[in-house]
């Protein structure tokens, strides 16, 4: 079961409600971020699946990562080769990757943000995506 | 007398067998899952009792095979953690490239289900954190660096609030009991190594705190 505040944290970030996001973040700092790495990994899976589907399109991934890096320039460094290999291995898990957990977190967060904000998602659609990720992150 | 090396060799061999058994169980799980899907197609609209019984059995088999696969994989990881305590680095450190690993291409081709794929990817991330002794919490930290940047970037660079969102680098907390066991095993190895490396410091510190108590 994913904490509602973790879902709210991502929801407010995707909706660019930074004041609300900051207050949820402060609550999570107090209560603990338990379950966040897995929820983020599930969101990343959902986002990559939504953007790329089941087929590893290397050229498409390279273009996506280039756009991602340009869009969030000035933020924490997102290494192109790390982001590409992480996304490609999510599309096709037979492909391996060697990326630090910290970089994994950056790539996952940035990818989720980009995929979910590039489209102008209706509320119901965003809720469905968040809910699917929460379900995936709650599996035994 | 049996040497440490012989014990380690035995344990590594046992671990390999467990990994292999885990794959077999995972395959059985995937096969049962596929059989269920096909049965559902065939049964659509019908109400044959024998087919209903077949579906019920396949469902139980799928769940049990999945459970066996997880337990076998956990047993293997516990052995690795133990081996790495008594002989650091002796146990396989990257089972995901091992042919017997219950993840990767072999399983994905067999378990097409979306949830299974997400599970496999998550287990791999956990395993990598475990193998490299890189705390899974670091991914949380990386994500929050990015989110902090977004908040500041969109508010004219002003840093408001007191929340640092920089989690402590401690062993990860995971809700999932299976991964929690895996991480507990990894944490044990990390703690043991830290104790070896910094044993003197720890003893000194403990003595100091005892003195103060």
pLDDT tens-digit series, residues A3-32: 999 999 999 999 999 999 999 999 999 999
What pLDDT shows up at residue A137? 93
User: How far is Cα A110 from Cα B147, in angstroms, rounded to an integer?
Assistant: 8
Average of per-residue pLDDT values in chain B:
69
Q: What are A105's two structure tokens?
A: 């977190």
User: To which residue do tokens 């059985």 refer?
Assistant: B28
Residue B45 phi/psi, 5-degree rounding, is 85, -20
Average of per-residue pLDDT values in chain A:
93
Q: Who's near A1: CB < 8 A, 6+ residues apart?
A: A138, B175
Q: Who's near B180: CB < 8 A, 6+ residues apart?
A: B174
What pLDDT shows up at residue B155? 64
Of residues B181 and B129, more confidently modeled: B129
pLDDT band at A50 (very low <50, low <70, confident <90, very high): very high
What pLDDT shows up at residue B127? 87
What pLDDT shows up at residue A19? 92
What pLDDT shows up at residue B119? 87
Average pLDDT over residues B7-30: 83
What pLDDT shows up at residue A14? 95
Q: Are A76 and B142 in contact (CB < 8 Å)?
A: yes
Check CB contact of B17 with chain A, cutoff 8 Å: no
ipTM of the complex: 0.91
Answer whether residue B157 shows pLDDT above 60.
Answer: no
Model pLDDT for residues B162-185, shown as the tens digit of each residue = 344 444 443 344 444 444 444 444
Q: Are A37 and B137 in contact (CB < 8 Å)?
A: yes
Q: Are A103 and B174 in contact (CB < 8 Å)?
A: no
Reduced to 3 states, what is the DSSP secondary structure of residue B136?
coil
Nearest-CB residue to B136 (from A74, A101, A109): A101
Answer whether residue B122 shows pLDDT above 60.
Answer: yes
Q: Are A76 and B178 in contact (CB < 8 Å)?
A: no
Q: What are B8's two structure tokens?
A: 């380690």
Q: Who's near B82: CB < 8 A, 6+ residues apart?
A: B11
What pLDDT shows up at residue B5? 80
Asked if residue A115 lies in contact with residue A47, where contact means CB atoms within 8 angstroms, the answer is: yes
DSSP label of B96: G
What pLDDT shows up at residue B103? 52
The residue in chain A having the minimum alpha-carbon distance to the alpha carbon of residue B114 is A136
Angle (CA) B78 A138 B68, round 5°: 40
Which alpha helices (DSSP H) does chain B contain, by range?
4-43, 49-86, 105-110, 114-132, 137-153, 177-212
Nearest to B125 by CA among A64, A78, A44: A44
pLDDT band at B200 (very low <50, low <70, confident <90, very high): very low
pLDDT band at B211 (very low <50, low <70, confident <90, very high): low
Average pLDDT over residues B16-42: 82
What pLDDT shows up at residue B50? 86
Of residues B109 and B130, more confidently modeled: B130
What pLDDT shows up at residue B193? 36
User: How far is Cα B160 from Cα A22, in angstroms, rounded to an integer?
Assistant: 9
- Whole-structure pTM over 0.80, yes or no? no
What pLDDT shows up at residue B180? 45
Asked if residue A24 lies in contact with residue A2, where contact means CB atoms within 8 angstroms, the answer is: no
User: How far is Cα B29 from Cα A12, in angstroms, rounded to an integer?
Assistant: 38
What pLDDT shows up at residue B187? 44
Model pLDDT for residues B95-116, shown as the tens digit of each residue = 433 444 445 555 444 434 678 8
């Amino acid at each position: 079961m994913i904490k509602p505040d973790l879902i709210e944290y991502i929801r407010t970030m995707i909706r660019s409600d930074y004041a609300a996001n900051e207050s949820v973040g402060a609550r999570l700092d107090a209560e603990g971020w338990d379950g966040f790495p897995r929820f983020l990994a599930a969101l990343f899976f959902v986002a990559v699946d939504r953007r790329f589907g089941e087929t590893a399109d290397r050229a498409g991934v390279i273009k996506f990562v280039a756009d991602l890096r340009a869009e969030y320039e000035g933020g924490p460094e997102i290494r192109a080769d790390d982001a590409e290999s992480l996304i490609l291995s999510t599309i096709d898990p037979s492909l391996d990757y060697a990326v630090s957990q910290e970089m994994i977190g950056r790539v996952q967060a940035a990818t989720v943000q980009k995929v979910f904000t590039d489209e102008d998602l209706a509320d119901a659609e965003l809720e469905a995506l968040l809910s699917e990720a929460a379900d995936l992150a709650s599996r035994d | 007398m049996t040497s440490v090396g012989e014990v380690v060799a035995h344990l590594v061999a046992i671990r390999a067998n467990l990994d292999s058994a885990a794959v077999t169980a995972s395959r059985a799980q995937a096969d049962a899952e596929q059989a269920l899907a096909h049965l559902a197609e065939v049964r659509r609209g019908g109400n044959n009792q024998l087919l209903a019984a077949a579906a019920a059995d396949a469902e139980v088999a799928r769940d049990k095979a999945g459970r066996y696969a997880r337990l076998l994989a956990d047993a293997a990881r516990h052995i690795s953690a133990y081996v790495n305590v008594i002989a650091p680095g002796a146990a396989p450190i990257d089972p995901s490239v091992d042919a017997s690993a219950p993840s990767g291409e072999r399983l994905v081709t067999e378990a097409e289900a979306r949830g299974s794929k997400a599970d496999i990817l998550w287990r791999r991330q956990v395993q990598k954190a475990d193998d490299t002794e890189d705390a899974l919490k670091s991914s949380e930290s990386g994500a929050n660096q990015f989110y902090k940047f977004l908040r500041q970037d969109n508010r004219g660079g002003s840093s408001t609030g007191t929340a640092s969102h920089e989690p402590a680098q401690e062993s990860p907390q995971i809700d999932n009991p299976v991964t929690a066991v895996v991480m507990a095993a990894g944490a044990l190895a990390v703690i043991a190594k830290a104790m070896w490396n910094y044993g003197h410091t720890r003893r000194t510190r403990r003595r100091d705190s005892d003195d103060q108590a």
